[in-house]
């Protein structure tokens, strides 16, 4: 069997960058101690605060600054690959930033950068009002990268509602897909598990969903439940609804191949 241990992180980020980075380091170390070869951090892991603060903490990519350098140090010291779920990237074009997911190799090198394509502009029934596009520029490129187990597709949070993206990731060879998120409590309680399991089933791929949890600032609250789903749609590892944690499971490349052979829905597409 071809098995690779992977981990998704759950944390409660706030406007306090130093605190967030200390929490992220502690959880990455916990995952590495459980033999994870790839660790996924959630969206906005280094800073989750008022929109106007995003530009101040953003860094250019791939060169980065002190935040990226610290993450690269974890990768090298712990001999793990990291997916920095949602990293605030300084845009050279305007005052907006990119919500970027960064894949770091074990040597700390930047392997891939995915910039969130679908931006979360909503007015929810619980009073939550979010206008991501006011401070964040949309990405345009579908990104698949090489991970320890094979091809890894990259996405971020709100992307999970757009299955056409995941079809493109599979078409480019993905057998696992990252969905780092800061899913709101209001939407998460009804949609989080359903959407993630659906993406796993229809893509016949593992889904690695790191998550924010709890209250961040003001009225901003996230649902939690960081999880890993297998290509049959079963949740094989999961954190709770609150607090920090790490969920660890093995990616079995032979299972992906077997399911795609036994139920070849990806080959039966007509549209």
Per-residue pLDDT of the chain (271 residues; tens, 9 = 90+): 589 999 999 999 999 999 999 999 999 999 999 999 999 999 999 999 988 889 999 999 999 999 999 999 999 999 999 999 999 999 877 789 999 999 999 999 999 999 999 988 877 676 666 778 878 899 999 999 999 999 999 999 999 999 999 999 999 999 999 999 999 988 999 999 999 999 999 999 999 999 999 889 887 889 999 999 999 999 999 998 889 999 999 999 999 999 999 999 999 999 8
Count of C-beta atoms within a 10 Å radius of residue 105: 19
> Between the CA of residue 236 and those of 14, 53, 144, 200, what are the distances in Å?
28, 36, 23, 12
CB 188 within 8 A of CB 222: yes
Helix H or strand E segment including 216: strand 211-217
Q: From the centroid of its chain, how far is CA 268?
A: 29
What residues contact residue 211 under an 8 Å CB cut-off, 6+ apart?
8, 10, 42, 180, 181, 182, 183, 222, 223, 224, 225, 226, 227, 239
> Between the CA of residue 86 and those of 25, 112, 177, what are the distances in Å?
15, 13, 15
pTM above 0.85, yes or no: yes
What residues contact residue 19 under an 8 Å CB cut-off, 6+ apart?
none
Report the distance separating Cα 83 and Cα 263, nearest Å.
30
Catalytic residues: 43, 116, 157
Which CATH number does the domain 3-268 belong to among 2.40.30.10, 3.60.20.10, 3.60.110.10, 2.30.30.60?
3.60.110.10
What percentage of the chain's residues is helix, strand, coil (to nearest 5)? Answer: 30, 35, 35
Count of C-beta atoms within a 10 Å radius of residue 9: 30
Residue with tokens 């297998």: 230
How much is the pLDDT for 1? 53
Backbone phi and psi for residue 110, each to the nearest 5 degrees, phi listed first: -75, 115
Alpha helix (H) residue ranges in 82-221: 163-171, 185-203
Q: Provide the sign of the torsion angle of the four alpha carbons 108, 230, 181, 163, taken in this order.
A: positive
How much is the pLDDT for 131? 78
């Amino acid at each position: 069997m071809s098995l690779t241990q992977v981990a998704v992180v759950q944390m409660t980020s706030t406007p306090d960058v130093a605190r967030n980075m200390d929490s992220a380091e502690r959880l990455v170390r916990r995952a590495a101690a459980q033999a994870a070869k790839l660790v996924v951090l959630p969206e906005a892991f280094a800073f989750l605060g008022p929109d106007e603060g995003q530009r101040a903490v953003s860094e250019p990519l791939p060169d980065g600054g002190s935040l990226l350098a610290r993450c690269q140090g974890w990768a090298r010291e712990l001999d793990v690959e990291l997916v920095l779920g949602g990293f605030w990237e300084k845009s050279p074009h305007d005052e907006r930033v990119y919500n970027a997911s960064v894949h770091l190799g074990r040597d700390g090198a930047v392997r891939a950068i995915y910039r969130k394509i679908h931006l979360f502009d909503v007015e929810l029934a619980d009073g939550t009002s979010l206008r991501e596009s006011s401070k964040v520029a949309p990405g345009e490129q579908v990104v698949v990268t090489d991970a320890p187990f094979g091809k890894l597709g990259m996405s971020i949070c709100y992307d999970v509602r757009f299955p056409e993206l995941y079809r493109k990731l599979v078409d480019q060879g993905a057998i696992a897909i990252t969905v780092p998120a800061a899913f709101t409590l209001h939407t998460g309680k009804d949609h989080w598990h359903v959407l993630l399991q659906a993406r796993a089933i229809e893509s016949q791929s593992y889904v690695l969903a790191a998550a924010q949890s709890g209250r961040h600032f003001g009225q901003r609250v996230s649902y939690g439940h960081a999880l890993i789903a297998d290509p049959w749609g079963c949740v094989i590892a999961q954190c709770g609804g609150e607090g920090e944690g790490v969920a660890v499971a093995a990616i079995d490349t032979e299972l992906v191949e077997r399911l795609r052979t036994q139920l070849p829905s990806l080959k039966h597409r007509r549209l």
